């Protein structure tokens, strides 16, 4: 279905306490069979699912996996565990790891902040040697450029920034004078509009009508009735 729909990339969600994530985290995997008891056993079913999907997904198209690199709670997944998880998926042919954290148990105690999950993407990329996607409170293109140029991640994924501005990527390109293809109907907006008094072209404010008796403009006041 995803192939027929024309998707270019497929991501398997193994994070945030969902079904596959519940096998990986020791906080939720209480099984005593071959699918529980250790991190390696907990990875068994998610890897089986990954293999089955990868076999059907075209070989020339990338497939990624989203993981919670840390549970933010005692006894849960640690940053060290995330390296093991990343290496396991890399051995099965994953193209990149989308590195999130937490949302496994309600009692979690995350440490929020700007780009707060980037250190986990950094660790997996540079310790496990697996390409990563950094996510979490990344909103400006300066942050994106800094993360990638510093070698902390290979890509950055921005969700809320695109909810706020669906054309975020196009606007970021325009602000940095990067040439990208704009949809025909939006090409008029491919350059940042002049908004300041010093921006060109010079504003035209001359009167092109005969001046009336009123010497001042009326001030619009919200809610004022006539």
CA distance 40 to 44: 7
User: Phi first, then psi: what are they for 11, rounded to 5°?
Assistant: -120, 130
Nearest in space to 47 (alpha carbons), one of 82, 23, 71, 69: 23
Question: If you search the block for the tokens 């293809």, which residue do you land on?
Answer: 181
Q: How many other C-beta atoms lie within 10 A of the C-beta of residue 139?
A: 17
Residues assigned a catalytic role: 18
Nearest in space to 145 (alpha carbons), one of 155, 131, 159: 155
CA distance 164 to 146: 22
């Amino acid at each position: 279905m995803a192939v027929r729909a024309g998707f270019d990339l497929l991501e398997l969600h193994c994070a945030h306490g969902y079904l596959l994530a519940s096998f990986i985290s020791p906080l939720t995997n209480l099984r005593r069979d071959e699918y529980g008891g250790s991190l390696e056993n907990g990875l068994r079913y998610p890897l089986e699912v990954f293999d089955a999907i990868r076999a059907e997904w075209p070989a020339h198209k990338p497939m990624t996996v989203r993981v919670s690199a840390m549970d933010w709670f005692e006894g849960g997944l640690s940053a060290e565990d995330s390296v093991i998880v990343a290496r396991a998926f890399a051995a099965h042919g994953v193209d990149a790891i989308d590195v999130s954290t937490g949302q496994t148990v309600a009692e979690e105690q995350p440490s929020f902040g700007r780009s707060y999950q980037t250190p986990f993407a950094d660790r997996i990329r540079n310790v496990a040697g697996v390409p990563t996607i950094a996510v979490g409170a990344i909103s400006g293109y300066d942050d994106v450029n800094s993360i990638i140029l510093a070698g902390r991640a290979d890509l950055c994924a921005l969700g809320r920034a695109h909810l706020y501005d669906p054309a975020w990527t196009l606007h970021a390109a325009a602000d940095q004078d990067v040439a990208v293809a704009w949809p025909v109907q939006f090409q008029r907006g491919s350059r940042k509009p002049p908004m300041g008094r010093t921006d060109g072209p010079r504003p035209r404010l001359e009167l092109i009508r005969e001046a009336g008796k009123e010497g001042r403009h009326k001030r619009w006041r919200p809610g004022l009735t006539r």
